[in-house]
Amino acid sequence: MAPTNPVLPAGAPAGAEVCVACHAHAGQSDKPQYPILAGQTPRYIYLQLRDFQEGRRHDPLMSPIAATLTRDQMRELAAWYGAQKPYEQSTFQVDAEKARLGKAKADETLCTMCHLGGFAGQNEIPRVAGQHYAYIVKQLTAFKTRQRTNDAGNMTAVSATLSDADIENIAHYLAGL
């Protein structure tokens, strides 16, 4: 739900006012169920918007919003959010032991082959470093249960090998990066 009078930073593209309610003013959502878009790869943001619009990815909030966007608006929003700098102010308390186990599991499953070192992402592969713990758990669980399948099979295959504890540990690790 879009706020009635959103305040946008200078340079925000048309259409960003509807994004503010969940993703905040510069893409640094303080609501852990919504992803941090600041610093995300523009290609990934664009593809996700397109997937929501075309029904390859489903969300009761995002799907109807994406349905109203033009391709140019999606590209502009993706470029703008990708150019924003993520803050380093997470209030999530990382459990050091779970993060250690999460790093070990991420190393074992070769996550950085796609997400790159530092989990910075590349092209259509998302930046997951510093993402909200709850959002990471939600997405890994969605891939594991095949509620989300817009990934060409890579994440559904990898997440199928993860236990619930693995997902929790990986989320602690990534949230703390």
Judge contact between 22 and 34, C-beta under 8 A.
yes
Residue 19 annotated as lining a ligand binding site? yes
Residue 25 annotated as lining a ligand binding site? no
d(CA 86, CA 65): 23
Residue 155 annotated as lining a ligand binding site? yes
Residue 74 annotated as lining a ligand binding site? no
Other beta carbons less than 10 A from residue 87's beta carbon: 15
Residue 115 annotated as lining a ligand binding site? yes
**How open is the CA angle 78-83-84, to the nearest 5 degrees?**
105
Reported for 49-54, long-range contacts at CB under 8 A and 24+ positions apart, including other chains, are 49/74, 49/77, 49/78, 50/74, 51/150
Residue 132 annotated as lining a ligand binding site? no
Q: Residue 79 CA to chain centroid, in angstroms?
A: 15
d(CA 66, CA 75): 12
Binding-site residue set: 19, 22-23, 62, 111, 114-115, 155
Binding-site residue set for heme c: 19, 22-23, 62, 111, 114-115, 155
